[in-house]
Structure formats: C-alpha cells, structure tokens
Amino acid sequence: MGPFDIDRQLARRESVKRLLDQPNLPESARDLWCRVLNNIALDEHTYNERVRETYRNHRKELVEWNP
C-alpha cells in the first residue's frame, strides 16, 4: 500500500468492473468481487484508516523485505 491516489483507486474499480462483466463468473465470485468493488476507498481518510488497521499489529521484522 502506498500513499492515497484517487486515479489508482478509480483504476482498481474499473478492473473489478471488467471482471464483473464476465458472463461466466460464478455467483459466489460475483458476490465477492461486488463487495471488493463497493469497498474500494475513494477518499484519503478512509484509505489511511484501512492502512492503519491493516498494519497496526505488524512488527518491523515482519514488514521488511530484502530481495
């Protein structure tokens, strides 16, 4: 997760919409992706709250990565 970017969030929504346009998508998958679509943060406050909630219990050694 990086800094909030409305263009990136809108692109994510468009990707999910394209996926939902597939006629052969199983109903369970459609339900899941509809929830994803409806939960994409479109404002910085909501996005930052979700980032804080996601990473609040992570210890530093769990987040670092050396390729």
pLDDT tens string 16-61: 999 999 999 999 999 999 999 999 999 999 999 998 998 888 776 6
The whole-model pTM stands at 0.76
Distances (CA, A) of 42 to 3, 18, 27, 58, 60: 13, 18, 26, 25, 28
The predicted structure's pLDDT at residue 25: 96
Residue ranges per structural domain of the chain:
6-62
